[in-house]
Amino acid sequence: MPSCRHAVADNAGVRFLELCHTVPTTASADHYTRVVVEHSYRRGIQTAALRLLRAAEHAPLDAPSPSRSRPSGQAPSDTATEGGMISR
């Protein structure tokens, strides 16, 4: 029958192996690089969205809308694409 000391040592060994398998290594560098880049991209989008929201909240109420400021029949300079991105 194993003693409590052996059980603790066995459990510590299992935990150590689990830890070794979860620690990032240089073999995973490409994966973690993609994760960092994706999060950076999302933060950039969030920052742009917040700027737009703040601009919309603080715009004067008597400001002309973009559709009214162009002569009729003239297309806007920015058009939406299929991907939802704005192109010029």
Residue 88 is predicted with a pLDDT of 41
pLDDT tens, 47-83? 999 999 999 888 777 766 666 555 555 555 544 444 4
Residues 48/56, Cβ–Cβ less than 8 Å: no
Supply the pTM of this predicted model. 0.44
Residue 81 is predicted with a pLDDT of 46
Q: Domain coordinates of the chain in residue numbers?
A: 31-55
Residue 28 has pLDDT above 90, yes or no: no
Residue predicted with more confidence, 53 or 86: 53
Residue 5 has pLDDT above 90, yes or no: no
* Residue 38: band (very low, low, confident or very high) from pLDDT cuts 50, 70, 90: very high
Residue 6 is predicted with a pLDDT of 56
Residue 39 has pLDDT above 50, yes or no: yes
DSSP 19-75: HHHHS--GGGHHHHHHHHHHHHHHHHHHHHHHHHHHHHHHS-TTPPPHHHHSPTTPP
